[in-house]
Amino acid sequence: MNRIEKVLQNDDSAYIYFVKITKTFIIFLSFYTFSILEKNSIYDILDNAIYISSKYFFFSILLTSLYFLISFFFIQNKVYRFNFISFLKEDIIIIFFLQIFIFAIYFIQNKIFIIDSGYIYSIIFLIINLFLTKKIFNFLYNYMINNDIIHKNIMLVGSYEDIIYFFKHKKEKVNVFKCCIINDLSNLNKSLIRSEIKIPVFDQNEDIRSILEYHELGQIWVLESDASKTDKLITNIIKFSVDILIVDLIKKPTELSRNLLYEKFEFRKYEISKFYGPNLLLKIIIDKIFSFIFLIIASPVLLISALLIIIEDGFPLLFTQDRTGWDGRRFKIYKLRTLNKKKFDKTTQVTINDTRKLRCGGFIRKFSIDEIPQLFNVLLGDMSIVGPRPHMVEHDIKYSKLFVNYLKRHKCNPGLTGWAQVNGLRGSTSDEQMKKRMEYDLWYLNNWNIALDLYIILKTFYVVFKYKGE
């Protein structure tokens, strides 16, 4: 599941925010364009002096600002609506009452705003533009769904009867069901079931991790017709990084479930990552901006370090290694090589007095200069500036067996720095140290917000220059 899908998963908040920002711009642009074209030609469209001197200037600024404030702070929708009623409620009615409010402001200030044919035409022009914008966003949403741009890869878990019942009433939208686990499969005709359900069917005793990785699953839906069985069904899946939702097959659905997911069933979040929606979008934007800026700032240091490595030990400059990312996906991490290439071993952890280190390697590692190439991992979307540090795959396999909740660390992109690292948990990979890291990482996942990320970034600089590790 790519990060666009992550932004849009669970509800439509991020898409709705994007729509609101666009419509705000359309309102401003409509008045700007009309104020110029009313008495001038298309060649004067960039002459903002005409707009500033027009009678629509202050009116349009007030209307645009008030629309933005009301849309973002008073109208909170999590489901994108296609129908004409939503257009009337979210655009036409709001603009109508805002006009009355602005006229009242003009009246109180003893100002005159003439409602002439030009003003009426400008409002008609605005409504047409908003209507066309609505149609474009409807088309865009359907296009992303139909072309699997925002689909979710989902595994169903439940009894044979519940899964059959579910598929009979399913509402196709943004969901792609890749496979299912039937908790009572051993007592049934497996061949018959697999031909009937038409997606891969697994027993609850299968290797869940392999299933998750192979099908690139983003969510698991546990079908619940009997609440007493729910805990038993999720025992084998709760320890993994994938999001878990409970599908109540009995309870009547809320508006969110009815519109976003299914018309018939109620959904509730059981184990859901905080990394989705507008906040995730903001995190992605911060990642791109910060990584680009940091690369520019650090480029002289990176260049000098690269020259020192070449002079001392030649090429290659970079060390690459498979690491585990979001939802257990594998990716190549980039680092400056700080070990002698003749003594190089990808699987052996570096120690403080490691004889394999280059003469320049100690300095490069002390100030984390070797980590700078991971900014390219951030630009590629494999990592974030802040998140749980990615461990070697061998470590992930080992510690996932030792610590039940270890794999929950993969509920977000791994980071260049993290909550564990700024709290002194760097370097050592002892069992005790890794357990503490995991606890700090899980705290970060449960308490994440943008302000926390910014705090960790600032604290990282202090920790790097203070650190005296390997």
3-state SS string for 66-95:
HHHHHHHHCCCCCCCCCCHHHHHHHHHHHH
- Tell me the CATH number of domain 152-271, given options 3.40.640.10, 3.40.50.620, 3.40.50.720, 3.40.220.10: 3.40.50.720
Q: Is omega for the bond preceding 316 within 30 degrees of 0, making it cis?
A: yes
Q: Sort 337 into a burial class: Cβ within 10 Å, 0-12 / 13-18 / 19+.
A: buried
Tens digit of pLDDT for each residue in 257-288?
Answer: 444 444 556 667 677 788 888 888 889 999 99
Tens digit of pLDDT for each residue in 174-192?
Answer: 567 788 888 767 667 777 7
The span from the CA of 244 to the CA of 220, in Å, is: 5
The pLDDT assigned to 259 comes to 45
Tens digit of pLDDT for each residue in 219-270?
Answer: 888 887 766 666 666 776 777 778 888 888 776 655 544 444 445 566 676 7
The span from the CA of 185 to the CA of 206, in Å, is: 11
Query: Average of pLDDT values for 331-344?
Result: 84
Domain boundaries, the chain: 3-146, 152-271, 277-466
